[in-house]
Structure 1
Amino acid sequence: MREIFLGEVIRQRRVELRLTQEEVCEGICEPITISRMENGKQTPSRNRVKALLQRLGLPDDRFYGLLSAKELEISRLEKEIVSCNVRFERAEGEEKKVARAEALAKLQALEQVIDGDDTLSQQLILRSRYLLGTEQGRYDFETGMAMLLEAMRLTKPRFDIRQIEKGLYTEQEVKLLNNMALCYSRAGKHVEALDILRQLLGYLQTSWEKIPPHRAYIPLVACNYARELGIVKRYAEAIEIAEEAKNICINYGHYQFLPGLLAILAECCFFIGDSARSAALYRQAYYLYEVIKNEKNRSIIQAEARERLGLILE
């Protein structure tokens, strides 16, 4: 495998995109840092290097570097926090409380390890606190959106939600944008949610074209976009978006969002009068949820199919 000087890769891509050092490194590091990096005189922390590569739309899994004990500890805690967040989102009842408590404990541990200028880890912490909500449940719209904007502006001080397509984003920033759209959707603000998701999907399809689509969060964003389109009864558009994302899931062997996409397609097909296809899609979604032991969504599919089509799924 051919080894390439990391600083040169970043410089070439930056020049190719006609970006200044200041535009690429905003909120991540100082311009002098990226300048020294491009000249081979300095290598920033692993998290900062990965963030720079992501903003440039380059794969971040081909970069290898030695990690300090502190960086290893930060990386371990961040991975465990993400895992806790996923577990919390899927859990019910007492298990949800346990997952939340574990996540909060790990967030506190991470806060004690990171430096004061580590905006990337601070951003992950604030986003995680938003996802975990309060003991009573999710934050209200105003509080939640304020937290998400605060997290975004840790690394993008001049962030403008109306001009998403003009920005450069890391993976964490893409997740924040997706969270903002969902926050709007839960508040019944579907026009705003659709606008964010439309811009975000367009950005990922163009600026991250060098990254395989399943790793570029396209299935995630497309799934939410298609769901929102269905909510506002734009069924033909929802079907088109969901079909494209479904094909990505199948072609790349990335099945996390496949059941949800099938469920969206089933619902949209029902509303456009294609009951036969809707029934077939409901069956596929139901059994996939059964395979992955997602009882909550399996039950929802079961109830929808029975109510809409008289279809009994067992």
Structure 2
Amino acid sequence: MELCTIGAILKQLRKEKKISLADMCKGLCNVAMASRIENGERIPNRKLIEALFGRIGENAPVEKVPTLKSDSERRNLEYEIDSCIGNDNYQIKELLDKYANCKEKMNKLEKQFYNFASALYQHSIEKNPEKFIQKSTEALRITIPNFSPETLPTQKTFTNTELWIMNAISLKYYHELNQKGLAFKFMYFIKEYLENNFLTNEQKIGIYSTVLFNLANWARMECNYKEEKELSEQGLKLSVKENGFSLFVYFLMLKGHCKAYLENCNDGIQIILESCKLFECMPRQEEIDYIKDMLKEEFHYDYLENN
């Protein structure tokens, strides 16, 4: 009964959002299989359900999908790996080995997750952005066969994993390869895709907030303070609405930064100092040190002398 319900919910939501069966399942499974899933005739694996629901901007009821022991193990390992990556901790080799060595062979979506996480781990050691983009592109081509890291994809729907991989490629273009045009093109593509589609709460406080921060931070680095202001204010509103405290602090710092340039320097510095105090509570020493250096270099404000 639950399997039939999952398929029926998927079908109803897909039709409500006017997404075709082919657009939803492209690169994930064939149309016939997707149709059988929607009609309750096929038992999907957890990753496929997550991906199909993700393509239509919905959270998947994966707890209702029967899973093998190895599938549950991989799901728990994914949470651990995601948590490490989210905290900029890329020492995940042991977790990746456990993920690969689960009893059952990886399906294509598990392989995509594993390959991308492995690329992040390898990059943390080798610092080779070209190799990272190559490996990330290979991971994306598991579900988007014609993906090119220099051309925007043409398909209409994306999974969360696909969006995160494109986000990571954009970051490498900007920060390590100095290909800023490509970086902005991909990042704004992700932003516009998310804004033109229904978002889950997870996407709002996850990929969408991250993309807003990346663009606001790049605007700061390019001295485009009006764009920095617009994007940081958008991010602050989203963070408050969705209880995304972690990124709220970053957006607050950026708001103070652009305010110092566009409006009142002292008021802007005070907002930056507020963000610094919040970082101290988290604690995020790297961000605190960065703010102190920024205040001194850009605004001639000595944090130690004034606090």
CA separation in 2, counterparts of 1:4 and 1:238? 47
**2:56 matched residue in structure 1:** 56
CA contact (8 A) 2:216 2:227 kept: yes
Structure 2 counterpart of 1:302, from 292, 300, 303: 292
Q: C-alpha root-mean-square deviation of aligned residues, in Å?
A: 2.5
Does structure 2 conserve the Cα–Cα contact (< 8 Å) formed by 1:194 and 1:229? no
CA contact (8 A) 2:205 2:242 kept: no
TM-score with structure 2 setting the length: 0.87
**Matched residue, 1:288:** 278
Measured at CA, do residues 125 and 212 of structure 1 come closer, stay the same or move farther in structure 2, by a change above 3 Å?
Answer: closer
After superposition, residues 199-238 of structure 1 pair within 5 angstroms as: 199-209=189-199, 211=201, 214-215=204-205, 217-238=207-228
Q: Is the 8 A contact 1:213 1:248 kept in 2?
A: no
- The share of aligned pairs that are identical, in percent, is 19
Q: d(CA) in 2 for partners of 1:82 and 1:159?
A: 24
CA distance in 2, matches of 1:251, 1:76: 28
| TM-superposition CA deviations, 1:139-187 (whole Å, max 9, x none) | 2x32121111111111111335643475311111111111011011112
Instruction: Give the aligned partner of residue 72 of structure 1.
Output: 72
Q: Trace 1:146-157 onto structure 2 (pairs within 5 A).
A: 146-157=134-145
Contact 1:193 1:228 in 2 (8 A): no
1:106 and 2:128 correspond: no
Note closer, same or farther for the CA distance 1:275–1:135 as it changes in structure 2 (3 Å cut): closer
Gap change, CA 1:195 and 1:210, over 3 Å in 2: same
Q: Secondary structure at the match of 1:214?
A: helix
What's the counterpart of residue 229 of structure 2?
Answer: 239
2:130 to 126, 135, 142: 142
SS in 2 for 1:243: helix
Q: Which residue, out of 294, 303, 306, partners 1:312?
A: 303
CA gap of 1:193–1:277, structure 2 versus 1, over 3 A, is: farther
CA distance in 2, matches of 1:63, 1:105: 26
1:169 to 158, 161, 186: 158
Task: Give the alignment's TM-score, normalised by structure 1.
Answer: 0.86
Kept after mapping to 2: 8 A contact 1:178/1:197: yes
Residues 50, 62 of structure 2: 8 Å contact kept: no
Distance 1:237 1:149, change over 3 A: same
Change (3 A) 1:250 1:135: closer
SS at match of 1:28: coil
- Which whole-Å deviations, capped at 9, do the CAs of 1:176-215 have from their partners, x for residues lacking one? 1110110111121222111111111111122134547634
Aligned pairs for 1:81-120 (under 5 A) are 81-87=81-87, 89-90=88-89, 100=91, 103-113=92-102, 116=105, 118-120=107-109
Which string of whole-angstrom CA distances, capped at 9 and with x for unpartnered residues, describes residues 57-105 of structure 1?
1123586333221211111222222233345x25xxxxxxxx62xx112
Mark the CA change 1:278 to 1:229 in structure 2 (over 3 Å): closer, same or farther: same
Structure 1 consecutive aligned stretches of length 4 or more whose deviation exceeds 4 Å = 114-117, 134-137, 210-213
Aligned-partner Cα distance in 2 for 1:227–1:164: 24
Letter aligned with residue 238 of structure 1: E
CA distance in 2, matches of 1:117, 1:156: 18
For 1:109 and 1:62, locate their aligned partners in 2 and report how far apart those are by CA, in whole Å.
22
Residue 183 in 1 paired to residue 201 in 2? Answer: no
Instruction: Tell whether the 8 Å contact from 2:256 to 2:268 is kept in structure 1 after alignment.
Output: yes
> 2:276 and 2:13 mapped to 1: Cα distance?
44
